[in-house]
Amino acid sequence: MAETGHFPAPSRDLCGTMVLHRALLNESMTYRAQRAQIENRALQYETARISPERRGVATIPVVVHVVHNPEIPEQNIGDEQIHSQIAVLNRDFRAKNPDVSKVPPVWRSLVADSMVEFRIATVDPFGEPTDGIVRVETHRRKFEICASPGCPASERDQVKSSAAGGADAWPSDRYLNIWVCQLGSTPGGGTLLGYAQFPGGPPQTDGVVITHSCFGTTGTAQAPFDGGRTATHEIGHWLDLFHIWGDDDGACSNDDKVADTPNQANANVGKPGFPHVSCRNGPNGDMFMNYMDYVDDDAMFMFTQGQRERMNACLEGARASLLVGGRVAPEVKPEMEVAAVGGALSGGNGDMQRLLQDLQESEKRTKELLDSLHDALGLVAGRGGR
């Protein structure tokens, strides 16, 4: 499913992911080609032409870059706040969050355990021990996403570059990079809580960015975004989920490419009452309690089965290297590292054979991704790049 044409910026955002996505689509043929292939793969999973190979929980290593100005001490958030965020992610992505019980009965059968967990990295890219937290001082008081028309690409994503006052990414094929800083306003002048880069973008900027007052559940986290759900939302994008309303500014003409989430007119904010009907989606209306809407942190509490399939397509496609990388990270004994991806390890020969088969399959999918990238580069060489 190719994405073509011009991609205008949305009129308002709490999340800057789509404005960054549109900027990349407008500028980069490579990104367009990558996105087309990723969408085709997601469609194959949605239509069951490809079944997920993964049978256990995938554990993704995380590095948190805390980029802070020494003149504003609250930007240098504490370790406890960081670990509180990881705990939220592991509850939300496994559907173990207590508030999942608030999902309206009509949608409870759709609640999905994505079988994804997150672990602060214990080994850095050079094989040295680490606590998975990188603290970098900056002269900047805040960072802008700078992805709107007229903003030079050289000023975009400066929090992800040490040369621009930020912190360089760790290898994005092995780690989920999370940058925590003070973010400025959205391109439309609103509040920017965070943003992510969809799979298929430049590796040096791959990851998510969260403003420190919306990160975790303690420290500087402020209501109504003190439940850690901004990171859940942005990592949903990083795993290829779109906003549940389809980002068409109320036109009801676009959706999130997931069949079991009702189409809705626009983002919901605050704490909507159930049902909230739009786009003729009655009687149940909008699934505003989905993590991919804009409601307050304590009003969102579910991913769906269809969203899980889309995340599976991503993890076994564009982000398959993370699963392979997770198996060989040196901080855990090799046999235990395989267990981190494949699920519980009993130590029997049958289990090991199954896990080795998983490894071979992930390596196969990584090769497919590299072949796809090679094809995309060939496309660029033939037609011109950015």
- The per-residue pLDDT for 229 is 97
Entry pTM: 0.84
Report angle CA 355, 360, 362 to the nearest 5 degrees: 95
Among 167, 301, 318, 283, residue whose Cα is nearest residue 233: 301
Which residues of the chain, if any, have pLDDT below 50?
Answer: 1-12, 325-356, 375-386
Return mean pLDDT, the chain: 85
pLDDT score at 54: 86
Q: How far apart are the first and last CA of the chain?
A: 21
Q: What whole-number distance in Å separates Cα of residue 280 and Cα of residue 252?
A: 9
Look up 137 and say whether it is catalytic: no
Give yes or no for a contact between 300 and 290, defined as CB atoms under 8 angstroms apart.
yes
- Given 39, 46, 71, 234, which residue is catalytic? 234
Helix 320-328 with 334-342: angle, nearest 10 deg: 150
Phi-psi region of 80 (alpha: psi -120 to 50; beta: other; left: phi over 0): alpha
In the beta sheet, which residues pair with residue 185? 191
Burial of 150 (0-12, 13-18, 19+ CB in 10 A): exposed
pLDDT at residue 323, as a whole number: 85
pLDDT score, position 153: 79
pLDDT at residue 333 in the model: 37
- CB-based burial, 41-59: b 16+ in 10 Å, e otherwise: bbeebbeeebeebbebbbb
Neighbours of 367 (CB within 10 A): 11
